[in-house]
Amino acid sequence: MSLRNLPKFRHTLAFRLTLWYAGIFTLSSCIAFLFFYFLITSVIRERTDRDLSEQAGRFSTLLSLNGIDEVKRFAIIEAQAAGERKIFFRLLSPRGEVFSSSNMSYWRDIGIEREAIQKLVQGKRVVFDTIVLPERQHKVRILYGVIGSNVILQLGQSMENYSRVTEAFKRIFVTTMAFLLVVAAFIGWFMARQALSGVGELTRTASHISSGGSLEERVPANPRGDEIALLATTFNQMLDRIQNLVMGIKEMSDNIAHDLKSPVTRIRGIAEVTLTTETTLDDYKRMAASTIEECDRLLDMINTMLVISEAEAGIGRLKQEKVDLAEVIQNACELFYPLAEDKGITLGCHVPGTFTLLGDTRLIQRMIANLLDNAIKYTSRDGSVEVTVQEEGDKSFAVFVKDTGIGISAKDLPHIFERFYRGDPSRPHTGNGLGLSLAQAIAKAHGGKIDVASSPGQGSTFTITLPRSPSLT
């Protein structure tokens, strides 16, 4: 992906995270505000209702002690003292007729709630009501109460002061929210950018590499140790592996080119010499024989490489047949007895019993044959080669191929399983440096491995470990 193809701003994760953060912040603030708003308004209403009830109680006591005229007088004085725009009262008959009231010029829009009177007549002591006067912005809380026989009190109180409190609360909330929302968006943006900063580095590195940059580029180490740092480390490890594979492929193709070049050059040389010198039919026959021999060597190398890639394709591509390791080793030994005898080497195969595992008989036999071939090849006259097998726990088997040959130097030891690698002392012997690579690829394909222990001049022991069933490992 090139940098030009980066997602549009509104599609970025940072933008969406910021939006989520700001959204959740706003929602939770609104819920908190609503909670406090309802708490405040209900506290205010309760307080107002308590005040109104206490006032009604006083009217009731006065009526029972001093009579209705004293109540009328007291009510007017109370209304004037509190402010005629703050409270008002009406004294009503049970039919709702007004027979006394405070100065109602400010409250003339407020009528009498028939339903409330009805409820009182039916036996309720007090009824509360809230009225909103459209031309005035605030509410009025009204109490209807029976204060004596046939006397109903309508007592109203303006909630203007309380409305101011709630209005101020709303205003403060809106301004604070607007400010906090901007701050929250900034904080959200900052946090999202911080959290995703490693992703940017990752994208930049991947983008450089994919647009032709060097495979040696790596995402800078992130000391935070979080998930993004882990992703970066994993990404770098993946790049290491890809780089190793690419280098391996390059090295291999160089080696293939080099190793194919020698026999082809030899074939060409033989043909050229034959053509440019005076030659008999026998010379031509010799040339043909040498050409066939070189071609066979080439074919052998190509076939071996094909088997290596077949084995490296992995367990899934292998045959999963029952293999008796003892029988396979015995068969391989049978093939090599004549060669060992010719070289004056004692070849011993000690494989009593059966050692059954799941795998590809043909490949396992080839792997053991390669090790036997090397053991005999790199052991001189009067030496010995021994093959043994034993169970390793209840899950695997170990096959040992031990020789008393030339051994492997510490310098060669780490490289002998590489393709086309040949140790210096082995140069005089035939070979193409693919035998051990193939053996190792086969062992790995079966979920196993090959180890080697060797001392120069004393001999080597190759140990193949194979699981009974590849899937068990």
Give me the residues that bind ligand ADP (CB under 6 A), please.
Answer: 374-375, 378, 403, 405-408, 412, 416, 421-423, 426, 431-437, 460
Exposure pattern of 134-154 as b/e (b: 16+ CB <10 Å)?
A: eeeeebbbbbbbbbbeebbbb
Q: How far is the CB of 385 from ligand ADP (least distance, A)?
A: 8
Percent helix, strand, coil in the chain (nearest 5)?
Answer: 60, 15, 25
* Cβ neighbourhood burial of 9 (10 Å; 0-12, 13-18, 19+): exposed
Which distant-in-sequence residues (6+ apart) come within 8 Å of 115 by Cβ?
A: none
Considering beta carbons, is residue 216 or 424 the nearer one to ligand ADP?
424
> How many other C-beta atoms can be found within 10 angstroms of the C-beta atom of residue 450?
21
Considering beta carbons, is residue 79 or 363 the nearer one to ligand ADP?
363
Considering beta carbons, is residue 350 or 429 the nearer one to ligand ADP?
429
Long-range contact pairs involving 125-134 (C-beta distance under 8 Å, separation at least 24): 126/53, 126/56, 128/49, 128/52, 130/45, 133/109
Dihedral over Cα of 407, 412, 417, 419: its sign: negative
Q: Is 415 helix (H, G, I), strand (E, B) or coil?
A: helix
What are 321's strand-pairing partners? 359
Q: How far is the CB of 442 from ligand ADP (least distance, A)?
A: 13
Q: How far is the CB of 251 from ligand ADP (least distance, A)?
A: 15
**Residue nearest to ligand ADP as judged by C-beta position:** 431
Q: How far is the CB of 423 from ligand ADP (least distance, A)?
A: 2
Considering beta carbons, is residue 106 or 421 the nearer one to ligand ADP?
421
Q: How far is the CB of 441 from ligand ADP (least distance, A)?
A: 11
Considering beta carbons, is residue 153 or 438 the nearer one to ligand ADP?
438
Considering beta carbons, is residue 314 or 414 the nearer one to ligand ADP?
414
Q: How far is the CB of 334 from ligand ADP (least distance, A)?
A: 20
